[in-house]
Amino acid sequence: MDIKVLKYFVQVAKDQSYTRAADHLFLSQPALSKLIKKLERELKVPLFRVQKNGVYLTDYGEQFYRRVVPIISEFDSLSAFVETMHSAPVGRLKLGVTPMIASLYVVDIVTNFNRQWPDIELQLIEDGSRALRKMLLDGSLDLALGITGASFPDLQDTVLFKDEMVVIASVDNPLSRYDSVTFEQLENQKFNLYTYTSALSHQITERCVKAGFLPKVNISSSKVNFMLQMTECDRGICILPRPYAVQSHLSPKVKIIYLKETFPWEGTLMQNGNTYKTYIVKLFERFVVRYFEQREQLQEKTEI
């Protein structure tokens, strides 16, 4: 039973004429009559009785009409429902973020996203990239903002930005004499390091091992400000993303030292490729990608 034919039936009932109904429906009168006859055969009852002064519903037709009208109304409301979902979406998004990205970008992202779509609740879970990846796999998160690192077969990464890591040392540390250093020069230093769940912790350790030593850990913490305070007191060094070091208004008691070998810091949007993407997930994904594209364009204009 086709919804279009049901609408044709209702139009004939309203107009009480095949000819007038055909004009309203932009159909030929014979074609409309044929469709109604087919519907009657399908139902095995007569729906209309034809008289000289018009076409009228039978008792079956009247009962059928009462049932069909709300069905058509409900069907037509489905299109409006989808349009409403797109224009004013309502729901919740579970978003994982690393502490570093949270402190640098998330307030701006959430504020602007919420301004455009105020009825979407963003539920934020903060942890290291490795932990966030595991949460994506078990379905605890919809999306996550982290950094590139250990990959998982079922996860998809969309790189959002690229920068570099830098060393932060106290001005009382002999390293502060240099503007740039190699990892080999860090062998005798104590490290204020990220916690184990952080991808950066593993990346820093891997580079130390590649340089021929294991890092001597002074403290490990998820609180970057605490790591910086320890460094300021000349209790170890820390390695941070350059944007964080630049934007944090560092104390004059510490110095930024660049690394001679490339140590990239890449932000990524992480998601489980095996799960269904809701409209809200797609919306946030597009928003975040565009957000970082605009930041990059603005930065390029500033540099010019």
* pLDDT score at 303: 62
Strand partners, 165: 241
54: left (phi over 0), alpha (psi -120 to 50) or beta: left
- Cβ atoms of 127 and 201 within 8 Å: the answer is no
* pLDDT score at 152: 76
- Cβ atoms of 211 and 184 within 8 Å: the answer is yes
For 227, how many CA atoms within 13 A lie in the half-sphere containing its CB? 26
* pLDDT score at 195: 87
Quote the strand ranges of 195-297, DSSP E. 216-221, 238-241, 254-259, 264-272
CA distance 205 to 184: 12
* pLDDT score at 296: 85
* pLDDT score at 140: 94
* pLDDT score at 32: 92
CA 202 to chain centre: 26
Identical fold for domains 89-158+265-301 and 162-263, yes or no, is yes
Name the residue among 242, 73, 133 with its Cα closest to residue 81.
73
- 233 pLDDT more than 80: yes
Pairwise pLDDT comparison (299 vs 195), residue with the higher score = 195
Backbone angles phi and psi of 236, in degrees to 5: 100, 170
Pairwise pLDDT comparison (222 vs 126), residue with the higher score = 126
* pLDDT score at 85: 67
The amino acid that residue 21 corresponds to is: A
Pairwise pLDDT comparison (119 vs 82), residue with the higher score = 119
pTM: 0.70
pLDDT digits (tens, 9 = 90+) for 53-73: 899 999 999 999 999 999 988
**CATH architecture classification, 162-263:** 3-Layer(aba) Sandwich (3.40)
With pLDDT > 90 as the criterion, what percentage of the chain qualifies?
73
Please provide the DSSP assignment of 134-160 as one string.
HHHHTTS-SEEEEES-S--TTEEEEEE
Strand, coil or helix: 114: helix
Measured CA angle at 225 (ends 223, 226), to 5 deg: 70
**CATH architecture classification, 89-158+265-301:** 3-Layer(aba) Sandwich (3.40)
Instruction: Quickly state the pLDDT bin for 222 (edges 50, 70, 90).
Output: confident
- What residue segments make up the domains of the chain, in order of their start? 1-85, 89-158+265-301, 162-263
Decide if domain 1-85 falls under CATH 1.10.10.10.
Answer: yes
- Cβ atoms of 168 and 255 within 8 Å: the answer is yes
- Cβ atoms of 95 and 122 within 8 Å: the answer is yes
* pLDDT score at 196: 82
Pairwise pLDDT comparison (42 vs 299), residue with the higher score = 42
Mean pLDDT for the chain overall: 91
* pLDDT score at 304: 57
Strand, coil or helix: 265: strand
Note every long-range contact of 17-24, with CB atoms under 8 Å and residues 24 or more positions apart, other chains counting: 17/54, 17/55, 18/55
CA trace torsion 170, 176, 180, 182 (10° rounding): -80
With pLDDT > 70 as the criterion, what percentage of the chain qualifies?
97
Please provide the DSSP assignment of 53-90 as one string.
TEEEE-HHHHHHHHHHHHHHHHHHHHHHHHHHHHHS--
- 299 pLDDT more than 80: no
